[in-house]
């Protein structure tokens, strides 16, 4: 990470156990640079307390309500990265969601988060990497992918493509293309292979049923382009992988909400010793 004086500049975290719509109402208008989040998918995931089974119309209505708050708090050139995936029984869910959200935002980029992939090499060897949840079905194949939609207010938010760049496979391209300016780095494109970390004990190591890897949020931070001054928000914090990414990248301020106090506590534990805003409390435990 490029930051100087890394040790002195610590991210300030404000993590609150609260409904995110209520929580976001306290955030000033156009004060957030970057939102990275993944809402519940309404597929009956067994969270600790949240019931993931709204009526489909209510779910879309609710989505518009929290996304409207995101739009209000986002700066004009801000980025809103929304991670959602489909299930075999509801393959159109991410597409329905994005059509609904197009009422508020412009879909500037679509990234594909690949959890597992098999690639045949030129020599004919098969390389398989990553993890997925196998499904036992004669109709459906294993689902190894989710979306990360990049939503912006006007579709014109400039990105830092090379911050997440990769070296050229064919080095002759470095000289051939003037736009490289002699640097061996090119835009990675919109396919991100980000495997989950291998864990031995789910209950101990990942005690939340629906997380994204920290690296997914790091990619969003990098491609948006960042300096220490950035303010980042995750309205559906879970156990805090976006917060961990903010800490890793040395972002100035991170705001997170989760309706479940247990998940907020987990996120705090995950982040470890950090600078917490003094008003950072669990709303449900606040003294009257
Ligand atoms: C898909 S998970 C997010 C996981 C997170 N990205 C991570 O990696 O740990 C969605 C989270 O939204 C929370 N949630 C559900 N309704 C909420 C609401 N109205 N306000 C805030 N959080 C809510 C759930 O408790 C759950 O932890």
pLDDT in tens, 6-62: 445 689 999 999 999 999 999 999 999 999 999 999 998 999 999 999 999 999 999
Q: Is 257 in the pocket of ligand 1 (CB under 6 A)?
A: yes
Q: What angle do CA 80, 38, 3 make, to 5 degrees?
A: 55
Cα–Cα dist 194/117, whole Å: 10
Cα of 40 vs centre of ligand 1, distance in Å, is 6
Q: Is 196 in the pocket of ligand 1 (CB under 6 A)?
A: no
Q: Is 66 in the pocket of ligand 1 (CB under 6 A)?
A: no
Closest ligand 1 atom, residue 66 Cα: 19
Where does the pLDDT of residue 284 fall: very low under 50, low under 70, confident under 90, or very high at 90 and above? Answer: very low
CATH number of 12-285: 3.40.50.150
Residues linked to residue 80 through DSSP beta bridges, in sequence order: 35, 151
Q: Which residues contact 276 (CB under 8 A, 6 or more apart)?
A: 12, 13, 14, 15, 268
Cα–Cα dist 187/166, whole Å: 7
H or E, element range at 214: helix 214-224
Q: Given its phi and psi angles, is residue 260 left (phi above 0), alpha (psi -120 to 50 degrees) or beta?
A: beta
Where does the pLDDT of residue 198 fall: very low under 50, low under 70, confident under 90, or very high at 90 and above? Answer: confident
State the pLDDT at residue 173: 85
Q: Where are the domains of the chain?
A: 12-285
Ligand 1 probe mutation, 205, 238, 254, 255, most atoms within 8 A of CB: 238
First to last CA, the chain: 42
State the pLDDT at residue 177: 83
Pick 143 or 8 by higher pLDDT. Answer: 143
Cα–Cα dist 261/240, whole Å: 12
State the pLDDT at residue 118: 95
Cα of 211 vs centre of ligand 1, distance in Å, is 9
Q: What angle do CA 65, 69, 70 make, to 5 degrees?
A: 115
Nearest to 276 by CA among 8, 59, 15: 15
For residue 83 the two structure tokens come to 């991670």
Q: Is 35 in the pocket of ligand 1 (CB under 6 A)?
A: no
């Amino acid at each position: 990470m490029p930051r100087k004086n890394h040790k002195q500049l610590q991210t300030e975290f404000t993590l609150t156990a609260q409904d995110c719509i209520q929580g976001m109402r306290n955030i000033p208008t156009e004060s957030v640079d970057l939102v990275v989040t993944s809402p519940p998918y309404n597929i009956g995931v067994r969270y600790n307390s949240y019931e993931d089974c709204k009526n489909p119309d209510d779910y879309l209505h609710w989505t518009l309500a929290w996304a409207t708050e995101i739009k209000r708090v986002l700066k004009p050139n801000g980025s809103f990265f929304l991670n959602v995936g489909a299930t075999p029984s509801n393959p159109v869910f991410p597409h329905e969601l994005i059509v609904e959200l197009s009422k508020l935002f412009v879909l500037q980029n679509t990234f594909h988060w690949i959890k597992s992939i098999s690639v045949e090499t030129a020599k004919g060897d098969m390389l398989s990497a990553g993890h997925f949840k196998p499904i036992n079905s004669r109709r459906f194949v294993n689902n190894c992918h989710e979306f990360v939609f990049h939503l912006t207010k006007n579709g014109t938010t400039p990105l830092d493509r090379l911050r997440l760049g990769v070296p050229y496979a064919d080095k002759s391209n470095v000289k051939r293309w003037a736009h490289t300016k002699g640097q061996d780095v090119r835009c990675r494109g919109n396919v991100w292979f980000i495997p989950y970390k291998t864990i031995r004990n789910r209950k101990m190591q990942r005690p939340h049923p629906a997380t994204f890897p920290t690296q997914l949020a790091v990619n969003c931070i990098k491609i948006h382009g960042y300096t220490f001054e950035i303010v980042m928000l995750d309205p559906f914090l879970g156990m805090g992988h976006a917060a961990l990414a903010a800490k890793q990248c040395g972002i100035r301020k991170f705001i997170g909400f989760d309706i479940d106090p247990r998940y907020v506590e987990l996120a705090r534990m995950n982040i470890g010793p950090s600078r917490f805003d003094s008003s950072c409390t669990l709303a449900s435990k606040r003294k009257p």
